[in-house]
Structure 1
Amino acid sequence: MSKLPGNAGVSVLGDKSLEFYRDPVSFCRQRIEKHHSRVFQCRLLNRPTAFICSVQGMRELLCEKSNLFLKDPTDLMTNMYGDTIVTTNGEEACLLRLSLTSLFTGSCLESSTDYIDSVSDRCLKDLSNSGEPVCAYSAFKRLGTELVLGLFLNVRAEEQPELYQEIAQLCTQHWHGLISAPVNVKVPLWSSGFSTALDARDKLMDIIKDKLENDKHGFVGSLASLPLPDSSSASQHLLLFISALIPKALSSLLTSFTLALSGNEQMRQQALEEPDFLHRVLLEVQRLWPPFIGGRRLADQDATLAGFLVPKNHGVIYVSHSVHRDPEVFHEPDSFLPERWSGRNAGQEHLLCSFGNGPRGCIGTKLTDVFLKEACMYLLKHYDWCLDPPSQDLEYKWLPVSRPANTPTISFTRLDPTRSDRSKTS
């Protein structure tokens, strides 16, 4: 057992939160090089914090020793969403997972496919119509928003356009509460971002409660019938499921997918013809460009991670970008190599943590996988694409969701419709 490398600093003055949130990737890279360790400590959110940038440390934190590291009850997610499967701990979290799992698996998952297909067609069919390069990220975010509001809230853009637009706008305002200073201030003609987010949350909850009372079909009806701990739990979870988190994650991954395959017709054709290869491409996209930077826990007692002592009450943050580039596990960690998932890393999807891992991993991972594959297959069947202009700054920003800091523009060219037919029979 070794002491954590680095220095936890002194209260307030030694805090490195601004430096971390400004550029978490550079922050971790510099300290990994300085300490010659993928586990180190700094002061974050004015708490001594262990940073986990190795696969071994991540697996211990999220899987083998998950009961020793708890979600922070003062986390901003609790303020914005209440007690949900994401924010609770212990037995309550386990019971919520048991109750909610059925909504994201089996027949519920299968029944979503037709709607996912129809939304993909409606949102992506016009990418080439203007003849001009488009901001793919915006198109993908619209796709994600339509999917989420249609599947989870029974509000479909083509059937209730005004209500859809109202909810989409409120979800965006609510999301900004997660990236604003938690200061609830209102004065004439001005409100803080956090205050605006709380107002949006209250309006969304009114809509959600009305839906839960009056809609008896689909996801809303199924959620309302589940054995949940109290009367507010269904509405709080529905607020979580329709939040901007999922559309932003989808648009992040779809943007990275289109950039990774931009101009590479051979790889796109192989992904179209071979579902297993498409799966490997998406694993590699997720590995290199995880939509979320990671997650945070608190040590409930003295424990070890990757051989280092983590004292009780220390914060612990796993950094997905760094974990996914652990050279002990991923050869040529900075290279886009889908073939690694049929070779050296075959069967090791469980070593990724884009959506968490272990018993507290994202409950909607399978549904997200269906979303992604359907959207990617639509793009592969109907378009060629390339960066336009060819030279663009694709440097990523990693918070609050990963994507190029300067939104890239892409030219899509509609394919001969017989091409996909030929690929099916070849």
Structure 2
Amino acid sequence: MSKLPGNAGVSVLGDKSLEFYRDPVSFCRQRIEKHRGRVFLSRLLNRPTALVCSVEAMRELLCEKSNQFLKDPTDLMTNMYGDTIVTTNGKQRCLLMQTETCVFCLYSVCERCLKDLSVSGQPQCGYSVYKRLGTELVLGLFLNVRAEEQPELFEEISQLCITHWHGLISAPISVKAPLWSSGFSTALDARDKLMDIIRDKLQNDKQGFVGSLGSLPLPDSGSAAQHLLLFISALIPKALASLLTSFTLALSGKEQEEARRRAREDPDFLHRVLLEVQRLWPPFIGGRRLAEQDSTLAGFLVPKDYGVVYISHCVHRDPEVFQQPDSFLPERWSGRNAGQEHFLCSFGNGPRNCIGPKLTNVFLKEACMYLLKHYDWCLDPLSQDLEYKWLPVSRPANPPTVSFTTTGCDRSDAS
């Protein structure tokens, strides 16, 4: 086995966390070029950390050796969400798979959130619209709170979720004063209020997802509430908004008219488009593990207690697996990369991946089909800065504006 290329530096002084969080993609690209490899060493969160940017090493980390690299129980997600399927390392998450069978009218939410995109005749900020769509989907599905039926409760929960989310992008310092509280402290207060609402729902609502979750044999009475806190958080709406924004940009303009037609008429082609959107613009930059024992990744030694971070953006552009890795080529998924969806890690991979990718895919396809059947669209103005930022969720740093025009494919008679 070989020593990891790169340098972990010395404690504190050698830490590269600020440089990484400022621009993780450039951080990794520079080191891939410098070390001429896609697995290398640095120091993040003051811990020697292996960064994984290849499909081979990602699959080892998350699949073949998942029992050797475990979730970090001290990370910020645990502080903000408690012990959920994101932070658990045991089999408890398997119980939650049962809840994916809930029925929810996705089309009615798409109709309510997307029907007026062209009414004003003015360019729209798609990302904001898509966040609202995602919020209505998750609160309706997971908590039985629908915007049209309980508008005040819906808005209260939405605002609390936004405040709670800000705790993930704040310094983890809890400070309260008479006229000021830190962002992290305010986020923790929002979390407590959300938990009160969730516990009330679990106790009194026996329908749908919340009713099913309350009946599962979870380890303790607080587990269901902790899981629901994650499910209704701003995390999922922002991920959906990220992917829908990237989809809109990828198929924008006159030159993509034929691609929009094909996606509208051919579900298999739409599936390939969404795989390519996920490959090029994953909503989350990656994930972190800790080495439970001395191990190897791609032939390199990873000592016990080292951190390991996989970078989805770089894994998805591994030229050993994806030819022309920076090009938007949906046809790759019916050609050389057919059947290789398991090489993507937008929502993790292996036995501890996110439990919701299938559900997310249903959300995405329904929303994309609504857009395709009702609208054509283009950037407005045509010249905009589309440079992406990658943390905490990927999207253009300056949310683009898009003009939508109705098509002749409007399914106004849909139910």
Q: TM-score range by the shorter chain?
A: over 0.9
SS of match in other structure, 1:41: strand
Q: Deviations over 1:297-324 (max 9, x none)?
A: 0000000001100000000000000000
Long gaps (5+) in structure 1:
422-426
What is the CA-CA distance between 1:83 and the residue it aligns to? 1.1
* Alpha-carbon separation, structure 2, partners of 1:132 and 1:98: 46
Q: Deviations over 1:3-49 (max 9, x none)?
A: 00000010000000000000000000000000001000000000000
Q: Deviations over 1:243-297 (max 9, x none)?
A: 1110000000000000000011100000001000000000000000000000000
SS of match in other structure, 1:48: strand
Q: Deviations over 1:172-219 (max 9, x none)?
A: 000111111100001121110000000000000000000000001111
Matches within 5 A, 1:378-389: 378-389=370-381
SS of match in other structure, 1:66: coil
- One-letter amino acid of the counterpart of residue 61, structure 2: L
* CA shift in 2, pair 1:64/1:411, >3 Å: same
* Alpha-carbon separation, structure 1, partners of 2:299 and 2:292: 17
| Residue pair 2:71, 2:87 contacting (<8 A) in 1 also | yes
Counterpart residue number, 1:309: 301
Give yes or no for the alignment of 1:390 onto 2:382.
Answer: yes
* Alpha-carbon separation, structure 1, partners of 2:113 and 2:380: 21
Matches within 5 A, 1:263-302: 263=253, 264-302=256-294
Give yes or no for the alignment of 1:360 onto 2:360.
Answer: no
Counterpart residue number, 2:40: 40
* Alpha-carbon separation, structure 2, partners of 1:343 and 1:55: 18
| Residue pair 1:384, 1:414 contacting (<8 A) in 2 also | yes
Counterpart residue number, 1:334: 326
Counterpart residue number, 2:71: 71
Pick the aligned partner of 1:179 from 159, 169, 188.
169
SS of match in other structure, 2:378: strand
* Alpha-carbon separation, structure 2, partners of 1:47 and 1:373: 40
Matches within 5 A, 1:3-402: 3-89=3-89, 93-94=90-91, 96-104=92-100, 108-109=101-102, 111-112=103-104, 115-263=105-253, 264-402=256-394
| Residue pair 2:374, 2:410 contacting (<8 A) in 1 also | no
Provide the aligned C-alpha RMSD in A: 1.1
What is the CA-CA distance between 1:369 and the residue it aligns to? 0.3
Taking structure 2 as the reference length, the TM-score comes to: 0.98
Runs of 4+, deviation exceeding 3 Å: 417-421
- One-letter amino acid of the counterpart of residue 98, structure 2: S
What is the CA-CA distance between 1:97 and the residue it aligns to? 2.0
| Residue pair 1:62, 1:359 contacting (<8 A) in 2 also | yes
What is the CA-CA distance between 1:98 and the residue it aligns to? 2.1
| Residue pair 2:373, 2:410 contacting (<8 A) in 1 also | no
SS of match in other structure, 1:3: coil
Matched positions, count? 411
What is the CA-CA distance between 1:420 and the residue it aligns to? 10
| Residue pair 1:381, 1:420 contacting (<8 A) in 2 also | no
What is the CA-CA distance between 1:157 and the residue it aligns to? 0.3
SS of match in other structure, 2:278: helix
* CA shift in 2, pair 1:218/1:402, >3 Å: same
Counterpart residue number, 1:424: none
* Alpha-carbon separation, structure 2, partners of 1:274 and 1:337: 16
What is the CA-CA distance between 1:396 and the residue it aligns to? 0.1
SS of match in other structure, 1:296: strand
SS of match in other structure, 1:269: helix
| Residue pair 1:16, 1:44 contacting (<8 A) in 2 also | yes
Q: Deviations over 1:24-79 (max 9, x none)?
A: 00000000000001000000000000000000000000000000001111111111
* Alpha-carbon separation, structure 1, partners of 2:403 and 2:352: 39
SS of match in other structure, 2:9: coil
- One-letter amino acid of the counterpart of residue 135, structure 2: T
* Alpha-carbon separation, structure 1, partners of 2:336 and 2:412: 31
* Alpha-carbon separation, structure 1, partners of 2:94 and 2:25: 35
Taking structure 1 as the reference length, the TM-score comes to: 0.95
What is the CA-CA distance between 1:417 and the residue it aligns to? 3.8
- One-letter amino acid of the counterpart of residue 14, structure 2: G
* Alpha-carbon separation, structure 1, partners of 2:251 and 2:176: 47
What is the CA-CA distance between 1:103 and the residue it aligns to? 0.7
Identity of aligned residues (%): 82
Pick the aligned partner of 1:403 from 395, 398, 401.
395
SS of match in other structure, 1:262: coil
